[in-house]
Amino acid sequence: TQLLEQSPQFLSIQEGENLTVYCNSSSVFSSLQWYRQEPGEGPVLLVTVVTGGEVKKLKRLTFQFGDARKDSSLHITAAQPGDTGLYLCAGAQGGSEKLVFGKGTKLTVNP
């Protein structure tokens, strides 16, 4: 059973467009993290959200944690080719030392 469902699985857009990717679950998470992974490399943390309803901004990226702490979204404004990569959400439950990862959204931004 996949606890975290990411959508869309693939996204190909033109430079300058806006996009939103989603990370949904029927389970409650104490925190959610978003990672970005480039080909041939390991994932790199972008942000952690811990409070229901929390919104965090990282330059052109806006992250939101759902009020019920079951879902999250990542919005990119004016996408650039450098945003190309695999975006992964990961959730922590209770006091677990483990993270549960979604399958990822593969984003391609074409010049």
Chain residues in the site for other proteins (CB under 8 A) = 30-31, 33, 40-45, 48, 88, 90, 92, 94-99, 101-104
> Closest Cα partner for 84 from 29, 38, 24?
38
Nearer residue to other proteins within complex by CB, 18 or 96: 96
What are the tokens at 30? 């104490």
Smallest distance from other proteins to CB 38, Å: 11
How near is the Cβ of 105 to other proteins at its closest, in Å?
11
For other proteins, the closer of residues 75 and 103 by Cβ is 103
DSSP annotation string for 33-54: EEEEE-TTS--EEEEEE-STT-
Cβ closest to other proteins, residue 30 vs residue 77: 30
- CA dist 33 and 11 (Å) reads 20
Q: Name the strand (E) or helix (H) holding 103.
A: none
Q: Which is nearer to other proteins, 56 or 103 (CB)?
A: 103
